[in-house]
Copies of this chain bind each other. A is one copy, B any other.
Amino acid sequence: MRTTSPIKSELGSSTSDTVTVLGQDLISMLGKVNLGDFAFLEVFGRLPDERESVLFNALVVTLVEHGVTPSAISARMTYLGAPESLQGAVAAGILGLGNTFVGTIEGAAKVCQTHLPAAGFHDLGGLAPLSDIEIDDIAVAVVAEHAEQRKPIAGLGHPVHKPLDPRAQRLLQIGRELGFDDSSSRLMEALARKASERSGKVLPLNATGAIGALASTLGVPADVARGLGVMARSIGLVGHILEERREPMAKTIWFRVEDEVAP
């Protein structure tokens, strides 16, 4: 027998007439706390203040629905095969939220969290934010480094939303209206500008780039930022299954693919 440590969790505990989640009384939260605030509690271990609530809800709401993505197609295909298991269809969709798509949130957050140490986050701890000139210098260096390694910068570029992504614009505006330090936002904007200049292409800051920046502002570590996408998209995937029941597309996609492969 190996010696093991005791098993502990602070996520939920109950007595006969109370339920506590992360130290908060669940019963008194019901009817007052919305789903986004409760998600904040799960991530940060405390409830948000008013402006954190607005910004965090805006970030996750943006992530819920991106149309008929590969993840949504996968969920719908799975539902066609296993209609007895709605949870299986949603799980299949969630499995596609990896490096290619939600990984860009992590990538953008990582750039912010690497190059804006201390500054650029929620709690500046008394430090002055970086000036625009300092931010531009960082952006030039990051763009050069990515160009050298021939790697795209996470959070830039969009096939449709050009020259500006309206979601990114609005999210940055919300952060500023609420009075959050905007160093992360300025860094991502500078990256978009400098990368566009250097490449000669239109590379707008996109929604995942803005979310990576603002998640950094709220203090979400880069390596769990994809958790926000997973939380939100599972809601959108339930929406896709409900639509697949009303207006199915999975069988059509399947037949077309099969007929093209073996006519």
Contacts and interface: CB of A to CB of B under 8 A. Distances in A.
A10 B16 CA distance: 39
Contact of A34 (B10, B37, B66, B262): B37
Contacts of A235: 35, 38-39, 42, 231, 234
Interface in A188-204: none
Given A13-B261, A230-B90, A82 B97 contact: yes
Interface stretch (A109-117, A118-126, A243-251): A243-251
Nearest to A64: B38
Given A88-B91, A94-B91, A252-B5, A160 B231 contact: no
A95 interface: yes
Interface residues of A, number: 118
Contact of A18 (B11, B71, B166): B166
Main secondary structure of the interface of A (DSSP, over half): helix
A138 interface: no
Nearest to A82: B98
Given A35-B36, A81-B96, A239-B11, A258 B43 contact: no
Interface string A16-45: 111101100011011101111111001100
Contacts of A162: 16
Given A4-B255, A34-B61, A35-B57, A86 B226 contact: yes
Contacts of A102: 87
Nearest to A26: B167
B61 A84 contact: no
Interface stretch (A72-80, A127-135, A139-147): A72-80
A162 B37 CA distance: 29
